[in-house]
């Protein structure tokens, strides 16, 4: 059974660094083809992909966040992390982590999608 | 960046009615994926690789499309299908989602 759960500070002030943790079970990030992604959703709005990390430590980021993101993992403890520096009120949202599944051929990823999601953690940026 | 445009933005359907939601991509993608999000809940994978139903999804749902045009169809609307549906492309980075279609029951 695959489960993911996000944790974070709840509230932080503008210009601070947001640190989020995703603790998961039912799969391993050391297994070929496995990945975890972070997605956020401001209240009443749509989904925005932030970053992915893969089993081989390959990382991808949404360029719209302009180098503010850092994704990492702790394979032995089944955790993934996301840091967002210099937060602003626009970063107020529910943050989700999700397991990534892929369709691949000849070891080339054709497409990827999020097959299991955490419950989300609300983060508010306010002075 | 591949922009996904969903239509309609909102719609209401009566029980038993056939519903079609559309997602258009600004560039060709190999597959489209769909998520259902009920109010106050996390998104759930609903349809993946354009036409495959995720585990537990009723077979009144179907997905189709290719290139830049994709759709999700509900053969016969039920009350429990009221939710927001998002499409997502995983063909190229940055991964992108559509802005969603809010489907309500009449």
Strand runs labelled E in A27-125:
35-41, 48-54, 59-61, 69-74, 79-84, 93-105, 108-117, 121-125
Q: Are A87 and A14 within 8 A, CB to CB?
A: yes
Region B49-67 average pLDDT = 97
Instruction: Using an 8 Å CB-CB cutoff, list chain B residues near A37.
Output: 95
The whole-number pLDDT of residue A103 equals: 87
Contact B35 A120 (CB under 8 A): no
Structure tokens at B73: 């169809």
Ramachandran quadrant class, A77 (left: phi over 0; alpha: psi -120 to 50; beta: rest): alpha
Q: Are A87 and A17 within 8 A, CB to CB?
A: yes
Segment A1-12, tens digit of pLDDT? 999 999 999 999
Q: Which residue of A has its CA nearest to B95?
A: A49
Contact A49 B31 (CB under 8 A): no
Q: What is the DSSP string of B36-102?
A: EE-TTS--EEEEETTTEEPTT--TTEEEEEETTEEEEEESS--GGG-EEEEEEE-SSSSPEE---EE
Which residue in A35, A60, A114, A115 has the most chain B C-beta atoms within 10 A of its own C-beta, making it the best mutation to test that interface?
A114
Contact B90 A113 (CB under 8 A): yes
The whole-number pLDDT of residue B72 equals: 98
Contact A110 B91 (CB under 8 A): yes
**Among A61, A64, A96, beta carbon nearest to B42:** A96
The whole-number pLDDT of residue B61 equals: 98
Segment B63-103, tens digit of pLDDT? 999 999 999 999 999 999 999 999 999 999 999 999 999 99
Segment B30-41, tens digit of pLDDT? 999 999 999 999
Q: What is the average pLDDT value for chain A, to the nearest integer?
A: 96
Contact A111 B100 (CB under 8 A): no
Q: For a pLDDT cut of 90, what percent of chain A falls above it?
A: 89
Instruction: Give me the count of residues in chain A.
Output: 127
Inform me whether the pLDDT recorded for A82 exceeds 90: yes
State the DSSP H helix or E strand holding residue B57, giving kind and residue range, or none if neither: none
Instruction: Using an 8 Å CB-CB cutoff, list chain B residues near A112.
Output: 90, 95
Q: Name the band, by pLDDT with cuts 50, 70 and 90, for residue A66.
A: confident
Inform me whether the pLDDT recorded for A104 exceeds 90: no
Inform me whether the pLDDT recorded for A106 exceeds 90: no
**Among B1, B33, B42, beta carbon nearest to A113:** B33
């Amino acid at each position: 059974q695959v489960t993911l759960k996000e944790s974070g500070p709840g509230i932080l002030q503008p210009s601070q660094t947001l640190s989020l943790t995703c603790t998961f079970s039912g799969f391993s990030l050391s297994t070929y083809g496995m990945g975890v992604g972070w997605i956020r959703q401001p209240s009443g709005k749509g989904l925005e992909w932030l970053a992915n990390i893969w089993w081989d430590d390959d990382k991808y980021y949404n360029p719209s966040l302009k180098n503010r993101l850092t994704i990492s993992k702790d394979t032995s403890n089944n955790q993934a992390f996301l840091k967002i520096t210099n937060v602003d009120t626009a970063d107020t949202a529910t943050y989700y982590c999700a397991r990534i599944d892929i369709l691949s051929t000849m070891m080339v990823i054709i497409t990827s999608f999020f097959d299991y999601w955490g419950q989300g953690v609300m983060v508010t940026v306010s002075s | 960046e591949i922009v996904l445009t969903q239509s309609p933005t909102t719609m209401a359907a009566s029980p038993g009615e056939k519903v079609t939601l559309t997602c258009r991509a600004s560039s060709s993608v190999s597959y489209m994926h769909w998520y259902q999000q009920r109010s106050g809940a996390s998104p759930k994978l609903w349809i993946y690789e354009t036409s495959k139903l995720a585990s537990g999804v009723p077979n009144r749902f179907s997905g189709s499309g290719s290139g830049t045009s994709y759709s999700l169809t509900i053969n016969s609307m039920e009350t429990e299908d009221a939710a927001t549906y998002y499409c997502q492309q995983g063909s190229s980075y940055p991964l992108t989602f559509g802005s969603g279609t809010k489907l309500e029951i009449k």
